[in-house]
Structure 1
Amino acid sequence: MSYIEKTLSSEESIYSIFKLHWMAWMRFVGWFILAIPTFGLTLLVASYEYLRLKSIEQAVTNKRIIFKKGIISRHSEEMRLSSVETVEIRQSIWGRIFGYATIAVTG
């Protein structure tokens, strides 16, 4: 059971859970490729990047927006849907080609 599922209130349901786009993993892939000739330190950095990305959870429920990251030290942000004032979408040329964007929600 994920962090988001554990923190739902009794009358709250999940509309959608968002996974990271595969392009977010490109830094991890780059470090992993570098790990082949320089195995030690690079593998350690790539492992950290992998765990950092795997620890991210994002969701929109019928009541709030939830963002959680971290394994040992956890950071979470939650916002009621009624508090949302602005949704900003930033999409680069690469984002348009590969189908990803950065979304910023303010309230």
Structure 2
Amino acid sequence: MSYISNSLSNGEQVKYEGKISPWSLLPLIILGFLTIAFFGLGLLFWIAAAIRYMTTELAITDKRVIAKFGFISRNTIELNMAKIESIQVNQGILGRIFDFGSLTIAGGGIPSAPIPGISNPLAFRRAFNDAQEAAAQKAA
């Protein structure tokens, strides 16, 4: 089972699931090609890229934003929908071309929480805005 499905509270529903972009892992993949001749060192870079891709989970629920990174050591970000004030999208030139970027989530009393290498970050932000508006209407 995934971390996200295990951490949902009663009645909480996932509204959007994000993915990490394979293009954001390009530096690790290139390092793998460049160092494969050195006793197979490149395989370690490829394994690191695969683990990062497979173990990153991102979701927007009707109550919060959840991000989980890591395989052996786990880092999570879980922010309540009501506490989030803004989501900033950062995309470089390659990010614009290949549609990936980083999100920085900020809010009252919350230190900014970066989520790097997300695929289609504008769709993630749009889904967050939709979920936040729906939560506000439900509360009113």
Higher helix share: 2
- CA shift in 2, pair 1:47/1:22, >3 Å: closer
TM-score by length of 2: 0.68
Q: Which residue of 2 aligns with 1:19?
A: 19
Distance 1:89 1:103 in 2: 5
Give deviations 1:35-80, integer Å, cap 9, x for gaps.
Answer: 4322432322332332133211111111000011111121111001
TM-score by length of 1: 0.87
Distance 1:94 1:49 in 2: 18
Where in structure 2 are there 5+ consecutive unaligned residues? 108-140
Give the match's secondary structure for 1:37: coil
Q: Which residue of 2 aligns with 1:47?
A: 47
Q: Which residue of 2 aligns with 1:63?
A: 63
Give the match's secondary structure for 1:28: helix
Where in structure 1 are there 5+ consecutive unaligned residues? none
Distance 1:94 1:29 in 2: 15
**What is the aligned residue count?**
107
- Overall identity of the aligned pairs, in %: 34
Structure 1 window deviating more from structure 2 (88-97 vs 2-11): it is 88-97
**Deviating 4+ runs (over 3 angstroms):** none
Give the match's secondary structure for 2:105: strand
Distance 1:34 1:46 in 2: 11
Distance 1:36 1:6 in 2: 38
Contact 2:63 2:80 in 1 (8 A): yes
